[in-house]
Amino acid sequence: MRQIRDALAHGKRSIGRVWNHAVEFAGHVDNAMSIGKRVFGALHPIIQNYGGSSVNKAIMSGIQSYDSSRHEIMGHHNNVQAMLGRLRKVVPEIDL
């Protein structure tokens, strides 16, 4: 029985570490995108003045795709957090 308990604890720790690293990495990506959006906002008029409307369109399309993906991922993240909360409440013995 102890081996099963230890294996479950190890699995829980491993999944927790992976989750925390993924959330931290996503935060870094989000921070970089935020900086990139501000840089683009500052450079947009200059690019436009030099005939870079196709460049601006491509960058805006990329930003919109990122924002859409971010919104979808945050929805999944919120669902996982809600499910975890329900599990903690319903089955406190598993110590999540």
The string of pLDDT tens digits covering residues 21-56 is 999 999 999 999 999 999 999 999 998 888 888 889
Work out the pLDDT band at 1, boundaries 50, 70, 90.
confident
| Per-residue pLDDT at 9 | 85
More confident residue, 2 or 78: 78
| Angle between helical axes of 53-90 and 2-49 (0-180°, round to 10) | 160
Domain that holds residue 41: 2-94
More confident residue, 37 or 2: 37
Q: Which two tokens stand for residue 17?
A: 């570490």
Number of domains in the chain: 1
Query: Full-prediction pTM beyond 0.85?
Result: no
Q: How many whole angstroms separate alpha carbon 52 and alpha carbon 46? A: 9
